[in-house]
Amino acid sequence: MPSVPTIAVVDDDEAIREAMDDLVKSCGYDSRLFASAEEFLAFEPRSDIDCMLVDVMMPGLSGIELQAELNKRPSHPPVIFVTSYKDERTRNAAMSAGAFAFLGKPVDIERLIGCLESALTHQLDQGRGDS
């Protein structure tokens, strides 16, 4: 992991992306903002991303579909869903597919920061595997 982790924020809502960007930077991390799952999948090198904050409902590929695409790869960063669409069925699908966390909007900032720090520690402990 680089000395400063990079967090991808994938959300179609520009205000949410900007708020998450501010939060991520206030924690001392770098961020990369993506307006869609497709925009994230087109980004290279994705191996520079250490953790992801992803919305569930977006035009085009949903966050769950993005997670499914990532799961086809040998390794990918931890995915933390941050969404208004927080029904139990979607949460269970995300978690059973390997999501690190599933948080509802409006998100509890302390909980989000805790999840982010835990995910980064987990990523570091697991080794990148994609470098």
What count of other Cβ atoms lies within 10 Å of the Cβ of residue 97? Answer: 13
- Is 1 among the domain residues? no
- Is 74 among the domain residues? yes
- Is 33 among the domain residues? yes
- Is 47 among the domain residues? yes
Q: Which domain holds residue 71?
A: 6-126
- Is 12 among the domain residues? yes
Q: Report the domain count for the chain.
A: 1
- Is 25 among the domain residues? yes
- Is 46 among the domain residues? yes
pLDDT at 75: 87
Bond into 45 cis (ω within 30):
yes
Q: Is 97 helix (H, G, I), strand (E, B) or coil?
A: coil
- Is 131 among the domain residues? no
What count of other Cβ atoms lies within 10 Å of the Cβ of residue 73? Answer: 9
What CATH number is attached to the domain comprising 35?
A: 3.40.50.2300
Report whether 94 contacts 64 (CB < 8 A): yes
Q: What is the mean pLDDT of each run of 10 residues along the chain (131 residues)?
A: 85 96 97 98 92 96 97 93 90 96 94 96 69 38
The single residue listed with the structure tokens 């993005």 is: 66
Tell me how far apart the terminal alpha carbons of the chain are, to the nearest angstrom: 9
What does each C-alpha distance from 89 to 7, 64, 112 come to in angstroms? Answer: 26, 12, 21
Q: How far is the C-alpha of 19 from the C-alpha of 3, rounded, in Å?
A: 23
